[in-house]
Amino acid sequence: MSTENEGNEGNAVPSAPSVPSAPPVPAAAPEGAPQGAPPAPQTPPAAPADAPTAQVPGAAHQEGVGPSTAAQEQYPYAPPSPQQPPAGSAAWPPPPPAVPSYADGGSPPAWGAPVPSDEQPRKRRASGLVAAVAVAALVAGGVGGALGYWAADSSGSGSSGSTTVAASNSPKDFKREAGTVAGVAASALPSVVTIDAKSGDGEGGTGTGFVYDKEGHILTNNHVVASAADSGQLTATFSNGKKYDAEVIGRAQGYDVAVLKLKNAPDGLTPLALGDSDKVAVGDSTIAIGAPFGLSNTVTTGIISAKNRPVASGDGSSNKNSYMSALQTDASINPGNSGGPLLDAGGAVIGINSAIQSTSGGGVGQSQAGSIGLGFAIPVNQAKNVAEQLIKTGQPVYPVIGATVTMEEKTGGAAISDEGAGGTPAVTPDGPAAKAGLKAGDVITKFNDTAVESGPTLIGEIWTHKPGDKVTLTYKRDGRTETAELTLGERKGDS
């Protein structure tokens, strides 16, 4: 494969930055005993001398934080009571349920035993609080029972009419407007298919696609069908359960786009309407349809959370990567959603769901990655251009600048390599970059008006254009900032 616009062999492609998990939220502290509660039992049950110390949840994560003085002030001291309940009586508290060991290997405190402390009054306050809360709960329960009896009795003993109220319409009678999520889903689902791809050795996976035209072309991701493209088997199942065999018409590994054709396609196929991804704004509503973890016809919602997000992803079966300047959405996207449509609020396709960011490292013993609210879709304007080319010729065409850039992140832009793959020149002789005066070592910092932070960013931006488009590059050389205008060249095929 040509390394045009790609890094040198062996350079790792940086993945999208991981998102730190939100810290655990500590449980709210009690806000004091209910007012008006009856007096608490006056003497707490005696704790054995060797009773273990209870561990307060969250305390281990807050070094140097002592007992809450606010909590001490809210619970008044309870004087001792005259006597303990006799052994064997139905005394409060009842025996505890089984409690697992703490994380440090210790045992939980004895049920009802106060937490040992340097100050004796604190133990008494804690015991008094338990009793006060228990009595208050019993009183509240008694009040609730009395009110319930009064409500039933006040309905009238002589009344024979039913008190059941029925809705005027059942859900099936409700009208789902075209602009609602239910309306969009009802309209789009018949045009979305679940793709089953099986390789020659019988292994396979599940993805999603959607009807592109009335001739039976299905648009999806390359990585959904890559394993079955040459000697495997592909089927597409519609939401009504009808299944059709399919074949690959063309696929573009670099764009992560593929086009299938249904064999014996049925009449009356309804293609999904294509929107304009260039006009999408951050905050616009999104609807994703797919088969996450094989669960076909799943609909999720969210918003566009970012645009022009540089993303590099692989097909899982090779060391080749795909690059996109993606639409980012928080609609739930999981394995199996790949290739499915990302719709706007009106039901038009604005992207093809293609990748997710996950906290899972994918190592041995780890579960398959799932959604954390960071999903990425190929903009539909780019996908449409690729699909038309694949349907027309069966092979992709890529716009290029005629230079090989590194995949390193800390270069302050996209640095042109010292040499290309196999020792070839990093800047193609007589190519667009060479004609514009660019040299090895130049660091490209802008592509038109878009800031370039790395090689994948530059490639993703280039691939949103077509061969022959005129663009402006801003670059740094020896500490100086320069600009160059060039006309994008082309490269045919993935190899």
Tokens of 355: 């990748």
Beta strand 414-415 pairing with 375-379: unpaired
Annotated catalytic residue 315: no
| Exposure on the CB side of residue 73, measured as CA atoms within 13 A | 3
Check 127, 196, 217, 256 and give the catalytic one: 256
Neighbours of 255 (CB within 10 A): 26
Helix (H) or strand (E) holding 305: strand 298-314
Tokens of 86: 């006799």
d(CA 350, CA 297): 18
349, 343 Cβ separation under 8 angstroms = yes
Annotated catalytic residue 61: no
Check 227, 338, 354, 358 and give the catalytic one: 338
Amino acid residing at 129: L
Neighbours of 288 (CB within 10 A): 26
245, 234 Cβ separation under 8 angstroms = yes
352, 326 Cβ separation under 8 angstroms = no
Check 223, 227, 315, 322 and give the catalytic one: 223
Torsion of CA 281, 179, 259, 200, to 10 degrees: 110
Annotated catalytic residue 223: yes
Q: Burial, 487: exposed, middle or buried (Cβ in 10 Å; 0-12, 13-18, 19+)? A: middle
* Max Cα-Cα span within the chain: 102
Tokens of 240: 């009504």
Which residues are the active-site residues?
223, 256, 338
